[in-house]
Amino acid sequence: MQRKVNQKAWFLVLPVFLLVAFSAVIPLMTVVNYSVQDSFGNNEFFWVGSEWFVEILNSDRFHDALGRQLLFSGIILAIEIPLGIWVALSMPRRGWGASVCLVLMALPLLIPWNVVGTIWQIFARADIGLLGHTLAAMGIDYNYTQSSLSAWITVIVMDVWHWTSLVVLLCYAGLCSIPDAYYQAAKIDGASRWAVFRYIQLPKMQRVLLIAVLLRFMDSFMIYTEPFVVTGGGPGNATTFLSIDLVKMAIGQFDLGPAAAFSLVYFLIVLLLSWVFYTVMTARDGAEA
């Protein structure tokens, strides 16, 4: 006798599918539509095919923004992942100290992105900001509105301050999941602190580190609000990342066709690089297992 399958659960999932279709699929279809057409106003469109994609991919403006974006994401990962691991290893595992550390780590993540940008915009100003005024008093030439290097340092330090806590919390969760038996066995064998980290803690954190790397890469590669509030993409185009350049093209210049093609290329780059990160790290994890 064949067992009858209850399909009523699909009615519970249907609202989610409708919400996703409304908030993601329909806007995506609109962007695809604009990316292959051009308009002279009055809602009149004509077909241009892949013209906008060819223009974007051959544009020096796009290549420069992509280079700045890759450099920024690489610096962010190189700083935040090791720093997050080190902070997580330094945090207590039990007692009131652990609770205090967890609360302090969670605080930066609760601040909205535009507020973070405003905080650092004021904090780093050379005239009234605590950081900028202190550096100027020390004789250090620091002005993020005029110096490209200062602007980059400000944006990087701001992102590290805001998002390293996420890496810390993920690594801390991975460390807390390690049974005490592993540490006891290492102590009996006389293993050094480096050996404990290399052969016990790091392997056990690999999966949470995979999540941390993917999240931080995607977030840093799509960053917009914080650098836009602080520098506006300047000085010049020094901190004009892909997202800022896309907004300038779509809203500032109102080039909807090229902006739509730009956004699709941007989406595919994020998707491709995230897939590469995930494939490499999971393949390495499987080989070591």
User: In sequence order, what DSSP letters do the residues of 225-259 get, joined into one string?
Assistant: HHHHHHTTT-STTTT--HHHHHHIIIIIS--HHHH
The letter for the amino acid at 187 is K
Q: Hey, what are 107's tokens? A: 């605080």
Phi, psi of 190 (to 5 degrees): 75, 30
User: If we measure between CA atoms, which residue out of 284, 264, 270, 277 comes closest to residue 55?
Assistant: 264
State the Cα–Cα distance between residues 182 and 191, nearest whole angstrom.
11
Q: From CA 267, how far away is CA 53, in angstroms rounded?
A: 13
- The half-sphere exposure of 85 on its side-chain side, counting CA atoms within 13 A, is 18
Q: What was the pLDDT predicted at 31?
A: 87
pLDDT confidence of residue 283 = 76
Give per-10-residue mean pLDDT for the chain (289 aa).
68 82 81 84 79 91 93 95 94 87 90 91 87 87 89 94 94 89 87 88 87 90 91 89 91 86 92 84 65
C-alpha to C-alpha distance for 80 and 213, rounded to whole angstroms: 9
H/E stretch holding 46 reads: strand 45-47
Q: What is the pLDDT of residue 286?
A: 61
Structure tokens at 48: 């241009």
Residue 230 and residue 124: Cα distance in Å, rounded?
A: 9
User: Pick from 101, 113, 85: which is nearest to 226 by CA?
Assistant: 113
Neighbours of 145 (CB within 10 A): 17
User: How far from 190 is each of 175, 193, 200, CA to CA, in Å?
Assistant: 20, 10, 14
Q: Which helix (DSSP H) or strand (DSSP E) does residue 218 occupy? A: helix 206-221
Q: Do 258 and 38 form a contact (C-beta atoms < 8 A)?
A: no
pLDDT at 11: 79
The backbone region for 46, taken as left when phi is positive above 0, alpha when psi lies in -120 to 50, beta otherwise, is beta
Structural domains present in the chain? 75-256 (1.10.3720.10)
CA proximity to 223, closest of 151, 147, 145, 155: 155
pTM: 0.86
Distance between CA atoms of residues 54 and 282, nearest Å: 34
